[in-house]
C-alpha cells in the first residue's frame, strides 16, 4: 500500500502541532503549506536594525500545556528554548502613581490584595481552589474532546463537573462573589478580556485562566516568543514533516466528496489523501472550497461573535525606558460604556484600553544595546475600516497616556515604527473580519457549538486552530492540533 499523503494548510501553532503528531504517530508523509515566507502564522517575527519583534502572542501562560506537547515526542521545552519566570508577572496601571506590580509569589499576591481589600487574601484561596478544579478538568479533559457530538459530554460524572464549573454563571457575577473592590475585580476579569466578550457574557468556567495566571505564573522564552515556533519547526522536521513557504493554497479540489489535491496560487497541484486546514476556517470554508462543499452559510458566519481584532505598534526606541515592566496593562480609563466597542460595535472606542510590552527589559537580545523594544496593542472590534489616519490618531492617544503615566518622553526617541491592524490581518492571514483572536468564548460558542473540526461534506477534510475547538490562544491551538490529529488517525485507521 502506498504511503498516504497528508497536506496541512498553515504553519501556526495548530498546524505545526497537527502535522508533527501525524508524522510521528503514523506512516503518512506530511507536508505543511505556508502562505507566508516564514513559519508561525500570527506568531511570526521580524527584525529591523537589531530590533527583534514578535508579531503576535507575547504572553506565555499554562506552561504545563507546552510541557505536555513536547513530552508527547519524548522532548522538553528546555530542549528548544530557555524559560524565565517574570517577577513581577506584569503591572496594572489604574492611573498616575496608581500602579500594581503583580508579584509572582502567591503569599505576596495575597498580601497585596489584603492591603486593597481586607480579607481578600483569604477569599483568593477560595477563588483559586475552584479555579484550580476548573483548570484541571477543563485543560486536562474537556479541551481534549473533539466536540463532534453531545454524547461526548453526557456522562453523569462529567455533567456534575460541568455544573461545578459554573458554565451557566457569568464571570462578572462569579468574581463579585469573592471580591468587592473595583481594582481587584478588574484585575480578576482581565484574563478573559481577549476571550472576545465582556466578563458579563463570558462563562465563569474561564476563571481557570486566573489559576493559570496567579498559580502557574507568567513566563518568557529567552529571545522571544518565536523561539517556541522555532522549536516546533525543528521538532516537526525531525519527525519528517516537510514545510514549504510562500506556498499559498488557492483551492482544495474535491472529487466524489473527497479532497483529492490542493492547487497553489502558483498553479502547482499537490495530491492529498487527507487535508488538515490550519488556515482561517472561514477563508477555507468560503473561498478554498466549491460552495457546494462549504460547512456553513455566509449568514452563519456573519452571526458569529468574534473576539477582538487589534491595532498593534512595533516601536524601536533609542533609549532605555523607566517606570515600565515587561508586561503593562493600562486600565487608566474606565471600561464602562466603551466595553462593547472592543467586541461587536463597528466603531472605534473613545477611550481605548491598551497593553504595552517591553521585552527588552527582560531580554537584551531583542534590542540594540541601550535601546528598547516596545510593543503596543489596542483591542478593537473586528471588521473596522482602518486607515493610516485612524492608526495615527490612536497612536497619539495611547502615547499621550503612556508618556504621562510613565513620566518620560518616548515619541521623540522612536527610531523605528510599524503599525498593524485589520487590513494586515486580512492580507497576511485571510483573517475573517480582520480578527486577531478567533471566536469569542461565549456559552453559545463553546465545545459542540463551535465550527466543527470535521467537514460535513468532504470526507477527508479537517479543521484546526482558533476558529474551531477548543478555541483561541496559544495553548488551545497546540491542543487543537493534537485533537484533530487523533480524529484523523481514528477515522482513517492510521
- Tell me how far CA of residue 151 lies from CA of 40, 156, 159, 436, 447, in angstroms: 35, 11, 11, 32, 12
The mean pLDDT of 414-421, rounded to a whole number, is 98
Domain annotation for the chain: domains and CATH numbers: 5-82+224-303+439-491 (3.50.50.60), 123-213 (1.10.405)
pLDDT for 337:
46
- Tell me how far CA of residue 274 lies from CA of 198, 480, 487, in angstroms: 38, 17, 12
pLDDT for 338:
46
Give the number of other Cβ atoms within 10 Å of residue 337's Cβ.
Answer: 10
Q: Put residue 39 in one of left, alpha, beta given phi > 0 → left and psi -120 to 50 → alpha.
A: beta
What confidence tier does 342 reach under pLDDT thresholds 50, 70, 90?
A: low
**Cα–Cα–Cα angle for 255, 258, 259, nearest 5°?**
85
Residue 335 has pLDDT above 70, yes or no: no
Helical (H) or strand (E) element with 162: helix 156-164
Euclidean distance between CA atoms 441 and 143, whole angstroms: 13
Residue 330 has pLDDT above 50, yes or no: yes
pLDDT in tens, 19-73: 999 999 999 999 999 999 999 999 999 999 999 999 999 999 999 999 999 999 9
Instruction: Give buried/exposed letters for 146-172 (b at 16+ CB in 10 A, else e).
Output: bbeeeeeeeeeeeeebbeebbbeebbb
Q: Greater confidence, 344 or 223?
A: 223
The mean pLDDT of 400-419, rounded to a whole number, is 98
Euclidean distance between CA atoms 120 and 130, whole angstroms: 15
Euclidean distance between CA atoms 99 and 218, whole angstroms: 18
SS3 49: coil
- Tell me how far CA of residue 298 lies from CA of 282, 304, 332, in angstroms: 9, 10, 39
Euclidean distance between CA atoms 63 and 113, whole angstroms: 25
Euclidean distance between CA atoms 434 and 77, whole angstroms: 32
The mean pLDDT of 259-265, rounded to a whole number, is 98
Give the three cell numbers for residue 202: 463570558
Q: Parallel, antiparallel, or unpaired for β 414-420 and 242-244?
A: unpaired
pLDDT in tens, 285-311: 999 999 999 999 999 999 999 988 999
**CB neighbours of 171 closer than 8 A, spacing ≥ 6?**
189, 192, 199, 200, 202, 203, 204, 206, 207
Place of cell 510541557: 67
Euclidean distance between CA atoms 488 and 482, whole angstroms: 10
The mean pLDDT of 91-116, rounded to a whole number, is 97
Q: Parallel, antiparallel, or unpaired for β 258-264 and 269-271?
A: antiparallel
Judged on CB neighbours under 10 Å (0-12, 13-18, 19+), 475 is buried
Q: Greater confidence, 199 or 247?
A: 247
Query: What is the C-alpha R_g of the chain?
Result: 22
**CB neighbours of 62 closer than 8 A, spacing ≥ 6?**
139, 212, 216, 475
User: Percentage of residues in the chain with pLDDT exceeding 70?
Assistant: 96
pTM, rounded to two decimals? 0.96
Residue 421 has pLDDT above 90, yes or no: yes
Closest CA to 233 of 60, 16, 32: 16
Express the helix, strand and coil content of the chain in percent, nearest 5 each: 45, 20, 35
Residue 1 has pLDDT above 60, yes or no: no
What confidence tier does 198 reach under pLDDT thresholds 50, 70, 90?
A: confident
Judged on CB neighbours under 10 Å (0-12, 13-18, 19+), 410 is middle
State CA 405 to chain mean position distance.
28
Euclidean distance between CA atoms 439 and 197, whole angstroms: 10
What confidence tier does 255 reach under pLDDT thresholds 50, 70, 90?
A: very high
Mean pLDDT check: name the lowest of 1-10, 76-85, 155-164, 473-482. Answer: 155-164
The mean pLDDT of 368-395, rounded to a whole number, is 96
pLDDT for 340:
52
Task: Give me the half-sphere count of Cα atoms (radius 13 Å) on the Cβ side of residue 3.
Answer: 11
Mean pLDDT check: name the lowest of 102-116, 340-354, 476-490. Answer: 340-354
pLDDT for 160:
67
State CA 83 to chain mean position distance.
19
Number of H helices, E strands in the chain: 15, 19
Give the three cell numbers for residue 350: 473613545
Give the three cell numbers for residue 328: 503593562
Q: Greater confidence, 223 or 160?
A: 223
Mean pLDDT check: name the lowest of 34-43, 143-152, 250-259, 370-379. Answer: 143-152
Residue 336 has pLDDT above 60, yes or no: no
Q: Greater confidence, 483 or 346?
A: 483
What's the whole-number average pLDDT of the chain? 94
The mean pLDDT of 466-484, rounded to a whole number, is 96
Amino acid at each position: 500500500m502506498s504511503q498516504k499523503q497528508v497536506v496541512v494548510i498553515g504553519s501556526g501553532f495548530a498546524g505545526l502541532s497537527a502535522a508533527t503528531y501525524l508524522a510521528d504517530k503514523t506512516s503518512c508523509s506530511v507536508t505543511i503549506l505556508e502562505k507566508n515566507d516564514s513559519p508561525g502564522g500570527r506568531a511570526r517575527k521580524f527584525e529591523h536594525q537589531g530590533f527583534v519583534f514578535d508579531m503576535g502572542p507575547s504572553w506565555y501562560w499554562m506552561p504545563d500545556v507546552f510541557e505536555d506537547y513536547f513530552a508527547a515526542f519524548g522532548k522538553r521545552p528546555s530542549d528548544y528554548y530557555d524559560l524565565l519566570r517574570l517577577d513581577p508577572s506584569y503591572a496594572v496601571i489604574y492611573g498616575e502613581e496608581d500602579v500594581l506590580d503583580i508579584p509572582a509569589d502567591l503569599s505576596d499576591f495575597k498580601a497585596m490584595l489584603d492591603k486593597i481589600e481586607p480579607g481578600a487574601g483569604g477569599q483568593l484561596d477560595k477563588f483559586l481552589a475552584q479555579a484550580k478544579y476548573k483548570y484541571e478538568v477543563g485543560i486536562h479533559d474537556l479541551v481534549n474532546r473533539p466536540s463532534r457530538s453531545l454524547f461526548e459530554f453526557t456522562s453523569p460524572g462529567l455533567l456534575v463537573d460541568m455544573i461545578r464549573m459554573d458554565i451557566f454563571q457569568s464571570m462578572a457575577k462569579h468574581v463579585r462573589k469573592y471580591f468587592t473592590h473595583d481594582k481587584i475585580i478588574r484585575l480578576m476579569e482581565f484574563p478573559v478580556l481577549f476571550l472576545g466578550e465582556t466578563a458579563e457574557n463570558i462563562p465563569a468556567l474561564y476563571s481557570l485562566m486566573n489559576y493559570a495566571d496567579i498559580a502557574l505564573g507568567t513566563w518568557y522564552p529567552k529571545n522571544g516568543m518565536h523561539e517556541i515556533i522555532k522549536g516546533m519547526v525543528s521538532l516537526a522536521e525531525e519527525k519528517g514533516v516537510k514545510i514549504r513557504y510562500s506556498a499559498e493554497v488557492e483551492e482544495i479540489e474535491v472529487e466524489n466528496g473527497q479532497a483529492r489535491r490542493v492547487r497553489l496560487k502558483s498553479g502547482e497541484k499537490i495530491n492529498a489523501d487527507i487535508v488538515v486546514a490550519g488556515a482561517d476556517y472561514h477563508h477555507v470554508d468560503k473561498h478554498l472550497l466549491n460552495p457546494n462543499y462549504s460547512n456553513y452559510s455566509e449568514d452563519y458566519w456573519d452571526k458569529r461573535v468574534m473576539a477582538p481584532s487589534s491595532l498593534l505598534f512595533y516601536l524601536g526606541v533609542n533609549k532605555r525606558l523607566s517606570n515600565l515592566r515587561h508586561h503593562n496593562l493600562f486600565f487608566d480609563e474606565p471600561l464602562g460604556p466603551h466595553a462593547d466597542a472592543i467586541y461587536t460595535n463597528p466603531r472605534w472606542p473613545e477611550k481605548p484600553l491598551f497593553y504595552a510590552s517591553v521585552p527588552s527589559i527582560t531580554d537584551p537580545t531583542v534590542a540594540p544595546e541601550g535601546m528598547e523594544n516596545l510593543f503596543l496593542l489596542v483591542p478593537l472590534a473586528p471588521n473596522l475600516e482602518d486607515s493610516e489616519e485612524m492608526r495615527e490618531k490612536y497612536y497619539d492617544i495611547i502615547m499621550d497616556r503612556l508618556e504621562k503615566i510613565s513620566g518620560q518622553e518616548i515619541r521623540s526617541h522612536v527610531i523605528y515604527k510599524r503599525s498593524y491592524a485589520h487590513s494586515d490581518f486580512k492580507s497576511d492571514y485571510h483573517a475573517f473580519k480582520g480578527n486577531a483572536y478567533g471566536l469569542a468564548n461565549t456559552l453559545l460558542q463553546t465545545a459542540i457549538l463551535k465550527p466543527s473540526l470535521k467537514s460535513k461534506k468532504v470526507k477527508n477534510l479537517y479543521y484546526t486552530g482558533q476558529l474551531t475547538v477548543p478555541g483561541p490562544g496559544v495553548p488551545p491551538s497546540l491542543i487543537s492540533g493534537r485533537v484533530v490529529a487523533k480524529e484523523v488517525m481514528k477515522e482513517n485507521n492510521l
